[in-house]
Structure 1
Amino acid sequence: MNGVRTTSGQKIEPFGRKFGKLPKRALKRVGIVDVGSNSIRLVVFDGAARSPAYFYNEKVMAGLGQDMATTGRLNPAGVERGFSALARFAALAKSMDIEPLTCVATAAVREAEDGPAFQARVEKETGLKLWVIDGQEEARLSAQGVLLGWPDAKGLVCDIGGNSLELAVVENGKVGKRVTSQLGPFRLQQVPADKLQAHITAILTELAQEVGTDHERIYLVGGSWRAIARLDMERSDYPMTVLHEYRMTPEAVAQTIDWMGQHDLNTLRGKVGISSSRIELVPLAGQVLSQLIGVFAPTELAVSSFGIREGLLYEHMSETLRRRDPLIEAARFTEKQMARLPGFGKKLYQFLLPLFPDLPPERDRLMQAACLLHDTAWRAHPDYRAEACFDNVTRANMAALSHPERIYLGLALLHRYKNNRAQSQLAPLFALLSEEEILAAEILGKAMRFGAMFAIDDLADAASLVHVPGESVTLNLTKTGRALMGEVARSRFQSLCKSMKVEGRIE
C-alpha cells in the first residue's frame, strides 16, 4: 500500500511507518478505537508486550452503516450514538492519560457521502482524529491481528463487518495478497432473496481468483462469525465458551446454520448472550459463510477474537518482539505480577526437565508455561486453588493456545495443588483431551507439586533428578536438600512416581 488519503487529500504514511517499530519497554498503555459499520469499540492494551492484557474494553453497537446501501449516507441515529460513544471514549482516554488515541474508521465512514462530515465533526468536537482506511489496509490490519494471536498462522483470514468483507493470505508471519468486497450483511439486506445466493457466490468466486483457493484453514474475524461460532457451541453442547481458537469443520458449520433456521433466533440469543442488533445479521452472515466454504473448500475454520485492533497494536511491535511466543510472554508477565517468588518458574522447569526426555516442542512450551504459572493462584483460598488455577487458564485471554492445550495446561495446574480430580465439576472439559494427555497433564502437575517444595533461590544446589524411563526416578539431595525433604515432600515424590509407574529412589 502506498498510503491512504485523508478527506482533504493529504497523503499520510501507512500505519507501520507512522508508528515506527518501538521496543517493548518504550510503550505503556496503548489505546485504540475501531469505528466500524455496526460497532464502535475502545480497547486499551496494557503495553505492547507480545501477549497484551486488555486493560479496558468497551463496545457500542452504533449501527453507523445501517441502511447506507440504499441512502448512501450514514444512519442518522447511528451517527448520534457513534458521536456519543466517541466523546465518552475521548474522555476516558484522557482520564487514563492515554493520548492520543489511535482511531480508525472502516467501510461505513469511507463509503458514506457524509463520511467526511462525520470525520470532521468528531475531530472538531472530541479532538479524536479518525484515520479512514481503505479495504486493502483493513484486510492487512485484520490479518496482522490474527498473526498476533497465531504467530504460525497459515491460511486465509476472512474479516466480516457490517458493510464489507475482507480476505487476506497469511503465511510465515507475513500478510500476502488481500482483497475487499461489499459482502457485509447491511449491504446484503438490499439484495432480493431469490438472487442472494448467486450474488454472494459470484463475488466470492471473483475474490478467489485473486487470493487462490488452496487454503486448508480459514481464520474468521468479526462479530457475526463469533456469533455463529457461539451458536455452534450451543448446538453441539461444547463444554467451553471461549471463542478464540475455537475450531469448526465445514460439516459442523452446515449443521449449525440448518439448526439456526429451525429455531427462533431471539430464543437462541437469550441462551448465548448475543445482542439483538448482532443476531439480526447472523442469518445473512450464515449464508455468506456457507458460500465461503463452498468456494474455498477449507478443511477447518478457526475463530479469532483478534482483528483490526490487535493488528494496530502489532504495528507497535519490533520484529524481535513479534517472534516471541505469546503464551510464554503472558505466563512470564503473570508470574512477575502474581507469584510469591517471581523467577522460580524457570528454575522449576530446569529442575523437572529430566523427567520429560524427548518432549516435543508443542508440549515443552506448555510445560514452560505451567512452571511459570504454578504459583500464581496462592492468594485464593486453599480449598479452591486447584479450581482457580484451572479456571484462570481455560478462560484467560491468552493467545497461541488451542482449546485442548488450555485444558491440558489447566489440568496440570489443578494437579499442582491437588492429587485427585475424581468427581470434579470440571470433568466435562476433560473430554477435550485423550487419556494419554490427561495422564501427561497429571504427571506434570504432580511434578510441579513436588518441585514447589524446593522453592528456594538455589534449587539447583539442593536437589536434582535422574530418570530412567519406565524404571525409576532418583532424587539426589545435598545437605540443603535433605533439610527441605520433609514428610510432605516425600509423600508428593512417591505420588509422582506412582503416576509415572516407576520406582522412586531418594539418595
Structure 2
Amino acid sequence: MAPVKDEFGPYGKPIFDSPTARSVSRVAVIDIGSNSIRLVVFDGAARSPAYFFNEKVMAGLGQGTGETGRLNPEGKARGLATLRRFAHLARDMKAGPVICVATAAMRDAEDGPAYRAELEAATGLRIEVVDGCEEARLSAQGVFVGWPGAKGVVCDIGGSSMELARVSDGQVGERVTSPLGPLRLQSVKGGRKAVKALVRATVAELAQRIGVGEKRLFLVGGSWRAIARIDMERRGYPLNVLHEYRMTPTDVRETVKYIDATGIDTLRAQTGIGEARMALIPLAGLVLREVTRALKPRELAISSYGIREGVLWDQMPQELRERDPLIEACRFMEQKDARQPGFGRALFHFIEPLFKGDGTKRLRIVRAACLLHDVNWRAHPDYRHEACFDSATRANLGGLTHRERVFLGLALLHRYKGSREGTRLMETVSILDETERAEAEVLGRAMRFGAMFSSAAPISKGELRWFPKKRVLELWLTDEAQDLFTEVAEARFNALSDALGAQTQVKRLRRRAEAAG
C-alpha cells in the first residue's frame, strides 16, 4: 500500500469530507519561514475560516544564511523550542490535521534537510519543504480566500525570498521566485548602493517574466503589512484593518521616503511593530518601491491571507471555492450567535424591495447585514450599536473592501441606534461619503423595523413596496398582521420612511402573502 503522502499529495488527506462541507474544526497550519514561525488554528466557516489561535515567533532561521549557507544556530534553537510548543498546543486543542510548510531558509540552507529531520523526530510533525514556485502558488491561492475574483499579480515577501504569481479566474498562472527577502539582502556586500543595484536588476528580470501593467498588485507577507501600517500612520487613516487596505504607487514612494527619514524607534512607537520586523523594513521598502516602479500597477492591495490560507484552498473542492466568503462567514456567525438562526434570510426577503435597483454588489452587503443583524444581542443595550459596528469593521471577514466594511458596520449600528452623531465611531465613518452614510442608515432602519415587526417570517405578514421616483413607501399588511402593526411598529416604520424621505401608505392585503422560499 502506498504511503499516505503519495495517496493524498504533499499536505495530507483532504480536510473537507465532501463538496457540501460548510464548516471546518480546528485545522492547524504551521508556516516555518526564514524570519518567523507561525501557528494558525482555523475554525468556523470552511469557505472563510476564522483564526481560533494565532501565534508567531520571530525565530530568524534565515539570519546570516546568505553569508554562511547555513541556518542561524540561535534561530535553530528557537525554532526547535517553538515547534515543540506548537505541536503540544495543537494536540491540546485537538487540532487535526496539523500541516507544516517550510520555505526559503530551510530549502536553501545546506543544513536544512538535517534540521528538518531533527524537527520531525522531536515533534512527530511532518514538514513539507516547498520550492519557490510552490510557495508562490500557495500564497497566491491564499489571496483567493479573501478575494474570490482576484485578478492581477500576487507579490509575497518572506525573510529570504520574494515570489510573484499571476492570478485570474480562480487560477494561478506564471510564477517566479527571487532571493529578494530583506534577511538575504542584509548579507549583500557593498552597502546600500550595491543592494539597490541588485534589487533593480533582479526586479527587472522578474518583470520581464511575469509581465507588467496589471491593475492590481496583491501584497502578501509581514514586511508588506508593516509598510502598510506605516502608510496608515503617515496618512492618518481612520481604520486600522490591514486586509484590503489600498495604496497607490505614489503612496508607496512617499511612505518609503517617510521610512528613510524617520528613525526606527519613532516608527515603532507610532505603529507598535516589533523590533525584529522593523529592522527589515528599510530594505523591504527599497524592494517594494522597485517592484512598484517596474510592474506599474495602478494600486496595491494588502492581503492578510497567504501561504497558510493557500494550503486550505488547495484542499477545498471547487464547489466550496465558488461560495461567497463573506456570506458564508455571516451565515456561520448567525448560526453560532443569533437568537433565531435563519431569521436573517427571512429579514432579507422582507426588506429586499427597498434595494432592488442597487445592483448585485450592494444586495450582497444587504444580505450580509441581515445575517449579522442579531449576532451581538448579548451586548449591553447601551453599547450594542457600537458592538455591532466593531464586529463588522474589525472582524475577520473576507470579500469586503474597506468602504463596504464600514458601510456594513454603519448599517448594523443603525439597526440598534437611530443617530450616529456623538459616537466614538465618527472618524471611521468618514471613510464613506454622505450618500453612502444615508444609504447605510436606510438599511439599518429597515432591519430595525423588519426585525421587530414580526418575530417569525415578516414577509408572511406583510410586504414593503417602494416607489423611489414618487418617494412613496407602502406597507401591505395581511389580516393576521393587523395586531402586529401597533404603536412601536408604526414608530419604527415612520423612522424608516423619514430616512428615505418618503410618504407612507399602509394598505391591506386581501390574501396572505406567501412565505419566502
Q: Give the secondary-structure state (helix, strand or coil) at the position aligned to 1:377.
A: coil
* Alpha carbons 1:136, 1:178 under 8 Å: kept: yes
Q: Give the secondary-structure state (helix, strand or coil) at the position aligned to 1:88.
A: helix
Q: Give the secondary-structure state (helix, strand or coil) at the position aligned to 1:32.
A: strand
* Alpha carbons 2:42, 2:53 under 8 Å: kept: yes
Q: Does residue 314 of structure 1 match 2:309?
A: no
* Alpha carbons 1:48, 1:313 under 8 Å: kept: no
Query: What is the one-letter code of the residue matched to 2:300?
Result: L
Q: Does residue 19 of structure 1 match 2:14?
A: yes
Q: Which residue of 2 aligns with 1:3?
A: none
Structure-1-length-normalised TM-score: 0.96
Q: Give the secondary-structure state (helix, strand or coil) at the position aligned to 1:464.
A: strand
Q: Does residue 69 of structure 1 match 2:66?
A: yes
Q: CA distance change for structure 1 residues 418 and 501 in 2, over 3 Å: closer, same or farther?
A: same
Deviation at 1:501, TM superposition (A): 1.1
Identity fraction in percent? 54
Query: What is the one-letter code of the residue matched to 1:351?
Result: F
Query: What is the one-letter code of the residue matched to 1:234?
Result: E
Q: Give the secondary-structure state (helix, strand or coil) at the position aligned to 2:39.
A: strand
Query: What is the one-letter code of the residue matched to 2:479?
Result: K
Query: What is the one-letter code of the residue matched to 2:431?
Result: L
Q: Does residue 205 of structure 1 match 2:200?
A: no
Q: Does residue 278 of structure 1 match 2:277?
A: yes
Which runs of 5 or more structure 2 residues have no equivalent in the other structure? Answer: 508-517
Q: Which residue of 2 aligns with 1:190?
A: 187
Q: Does residue 39 of structure 1 match 2:36?
A: yes
Structure-2 separation of matches of 1:22 and 1:13: 13
Q: Does residue 129 of structure 1 match 2:126?
A: yes
Structure-1 separation of matches of 2:36 and 2:460: 57
Per-residue CA deviation, residues 167-192 of structure 1 (Å, 9 max, x unaligned), is 00000111001010100001111222
* Alpha carbons 1:48, 1:317 under 8 Å: kept: no
Deviation at 1:15, TM superposition (A): 4.2
Q: Give the secondary-structure state (helix, strand or coil) at the position aligned to 1:166.
A: strand
Per-residue CA deviation, residues 86-119 of structure 1 (Å, 9 max, x unaligned), is 0001111111122441101000001111111110
Which runs of 5 or more structure 1 residues have no equivalent in the other structure? Answer: 1-9
Structure-1 separation of matches of 2:23 and 2:468: 47
Q: Which residue of 2 aligns with 1:6?
A: none
Q: Which residue of 2 aligns with 1:304?
A: 303
* Alpha carbons 2:454, 2:461 under 8 Å: kept: no
Q: Does residue 353 of structure 1 match 2:348?
A: no
Structure-1 separation of matches of 2:10 and 2:212: 29
Query: What is the one-letter code of the residue matched to 1:323?
Result: E
Query: What is the one-letter code of the residue matched to 2:404?
Result: E
Per-residue CA deviation, residues 275-301 of structure 1 (Å, 9 max, x unaligned), is 100000000000000100111111100
Structure-2 separation of matches of 1:26 and 1:352: 28
Q: CA distance change for structure 1 residues 12 and 474 in 2, over 3 Å: closer, same or farther?
A: closer
Q: CA distance change for structure 1 residues 494 and 271 in 2, over 3 Å: closer, same or farther?
A: same
Q: Which residue of 2 aligns with 1:447?
A: 446
Structure-2 separation of matches of 1:327 and 1:147: 12
Q: CA distance change for structure 1 residues 16 and 323 in 2, over 3 Å: closer, same or farther?
A: farther
Q: CA distance change for structure 1 residues 500 and 100 in 2, over 3 Å: closer, same or farther?
A: closer
Greater CA deviation, 443-452 or 260-269?
A: 260-269
Deviation at 1:21, TM superposition (A): 6.5
Q: Which residue of 1 aligns with 2:434?
A: 435
Deviation at 1:459, TM superposition (A): 2.2
Q: Which residue of 2 aligns with 1:94?
A: 91
Q: Which residue of 1 aligns with 2:511?
A: none
* Alpha carbons 1:463, 1:478 under 8 Å: kept: yes
Q: Give the secondary-structure state (helix, strand or coil) at the position aligned to 1:158.
A: strand
Q: Which residue of 2 aligns with 1:412?
A: 411
Query: What is the one-letter code of the residue matched to 2:281?
Result: V
Q: Which residue of 2 aligns with 1:376?
A: 375
Query: What is the one-letter code of the residue matched to 2:442?
Result: I
Structure-2 separation of matches of 1:55 and 1:179: 32
Q: Give the secondary-structure state (helix, strand or coil) at the position aligned to 1:54.
A: strand
- Please list, as runs of the form range in 1=range in 2, the aligned pairs for 1:146-225 lying within 5 A after superposition: 146-191=143-188, 192=190, 193-225=192-224
Deviation at 1:460, TM superposition (A): 2.2
Q: Does residue 493 of structure 1 match 2:493?
A: yes
Structure-1 separation of matches of 2:106 and 2:34: 8
Query: What is the one-letter code of the residue matched to 1:240?
Result: L
* Alpha carbons 2:44, 2:332 under 8 Å: kept: no
Deviation at 1:250, TM superposition (A): 0.6
* Alpha carbons 2:454, 2:484 under 8 Å: kept: no
Structure-2 separation of matches of 1:100 and 1:341: 33
Q: How many pairs are equivalent?
A: 498
* Alpha carbons 1:22, 1:316 under 8 Å: kept: no
Deviation at 1:265, TM superposition (A): 1.1
Structure-2 separation of matches of 1:439 and 1:79: 56
Deviation at 1:144, TM superposition (A): 0.2
Per-residue CA deviation, residues 4-55 of structure 1 (Å, 9 max, x unaligned), is xxxxxx9897547863864225853211100000000001111561111111
Query: What is the one-letter code of the residue matched to 2:496?
Result: L
Structure-1 separation of matches of 2:202 and 2:13: 33
- Please list, as runs of the form range in 1=range in 2, the aligned pairs for 1:318-333 lying within 5 A after superposition: 318-333=317-332
Q: Which residue of 1 aligns with 2:139?
A: 142
Deviation at 1:350, TM superposition (A): 0.4
Greater CA deviation, 327-336 or 420-429?
A: 420-429
Structure-2 separation of matches of 1:200 and 1:288: 6
* Alpha carbons 1:148, 1:306 under 8 Å: kept: yes
Q: CA distance change for structure 1 residues 84 and 16 in 2, over 3 Å: closer, same or farther?
A: closer
Q: Which residue of 2 aligns with 1:5?
A: none
Q: Give the secondary-structure state (helix, strand or coil) at the position aligned to 1:360.
A: helix
Q: CA distance change for structure 1 residues 287 and 11 in 2, over 3 Å: closer, same or farther?
A: farther
Q: Which residue of 2 aligns with 1:293?
A: 292
Structure-2 separation of matches of 1:20 and 1:382: 40
Q: CA distance change for structure 1 residues 99 and 375 in 2, over 3 Å: closer, same or farther?
A: closer
Q: CA distance change for structure 1 residues 267 and 196 in 2, over 3 Å: closer, same or farther?
A: same
Greater CA deviation, 284-293 or 185-194?
A: 185-194
Query: What is the one-letter code of the residue matched to 1:148?
Result: V
Per-residue CA deviation, residues 242-282 of structure 1 (Å, 9 max, x unaligned), is 00000000101111111112211112112211110000000
Structure-2 separation of matches of 1:13 and 1:343: 36
Structure-2 separation of matches of 1:270 and 1:369: 37
Query: What is the one-letter code of the residue matched to 1:297?
Result: K
* Alpha carbons 1:233, 1:241 under 8 Å: kept: yes
Q: CA distance change for structure 1 residues 452 and 46 in 2, over 3 Å: closer, same or farther?
A: same
Q: CA distance change for structure 1 residues 28 and 273 in 2, over 3 Å: closer, same or farther?
A: same
Q: Which residue of 2 aligns with 1:59?
A: 56
Structure-2 separation of matches of 1:17 and 1:86: 19
Structure-2 separation of matches of 1:78 and 1:311: 25
Per-residue CA deviation, residues 55-107 of structure 1 (Å, 9 max, x unaligned), is 11111100000000001110000001111010001111111122441101000
Deviation at 1:361, TM superposition (A): 1.1
Q: CA distance change for structure 1 residues 200 and 14 in 2, over 3 Å: closer, same or farther?
A: farther
